[in-house]
Amino acid sequence: MANRFDSSDLEEAVRIMRNGGIILYPTDTIWGIGCDATNSEAVKKIYTLKQRSDSKAMLVLTDHDCKLPGLMREVPELAYDIIDMAIKPVTIIYPNARNIAPELIASDGSVGIRITKEEFSKALCNKMRVPIVSTSANISGHPSPHFFHEIEEEIKAQVDYIVKYRQDDLTPSLPSQIIKLDVNGEVKVIRE
């Protein structure tokens, strides 16, 4: 376990994802399974690994709100206020998603995006220059692991890379708040 991630850990995770692989990595909430969110084949690998229906959309992470306009036709102005005022991680479901794998876009055209503030996942998004998938590191229907040691061996065995950073970290984390924004500015809180 590393207390501060080293660049070789980050570089290897980026290399794997750029080559269509999937990784296990720490996020600002719980450990996640990730890949390049613009790569359909990699996204399909995650659905297969999680044994999850592809009708259940997965969220994506990015490192800065300036990248939002590239991921949807129009960013609701309120989104920036919500992001700025958030005390804990917040996932916003936006309408009219674009420039990501179609498998990540819900049937209504929306996508869930979180701006990560966690050190490793933020650096990962920055280095990838595209959003990355972030879905809980569990088989669909099984409990979400809060810590690395709770992740099922089946998951660990099927990813292409496991990030070393924070594997021994037992700091409790909170799930993200989930808010859905509509094009007309309507706000719906899905999870507080």
pLDDT in tens, 147-187: 999 999 999 999 999 999 999 999 988 789 999 998 777 89
Q: For position 3, what pLDDT does the model report?
A: 54
Q: What six digits make up the tokens of 11?
A: 């570089």
Q: What is the number of alpha carbons within 13 Å of residue 147 lying toward its C-beta?
A: 9
The C-alpha atoms of residue 118 and residue 28 are separated, in whole angstroms, by 5
Q: How many domains does the chain have?
A: 1
Residues in the chain: 192
Q: For position 128, what pLDDT does the model report?
A: 97
Residue in 176, 182, 37 with CA at minimum distance from that of residue 110: 182
Q: How confident is the model at residue 84 (pLDDT cuts 50, 70, 90)?
A: very high
- Give the structural domain span for 92: 7-191
> How confident is the model over 122-141, as a mean pLDDT?
96
- pLDDT at residue 56 greater than cutoff 80: no
Q: For position 186, what pLDDT does the model report?
A: 87
pTM of the model: 0.93
Whether 37 is in a domain gets the answer yes
Whether 133 is in a domain gets the answer yes
> How confident is the model over 31-47, as a mean pLDDT?
97
Residue in 165, 169, 132, 124 with CA at minimum distance from that of residue 150: 169
Whether 2 is in a domain gets the answer no
Share of the chain above pLDDT 70, in %: 98
Mean pLDDT of the chain: 93
Q: For position 174, what pLDDT does the model report?
A: 76
- Supply the CATH number for residue 167's domain: 3.90.870.10
Q: How confident is the model at residue 35 (pLDDT cuts 50, 70, 90)?
A: very high
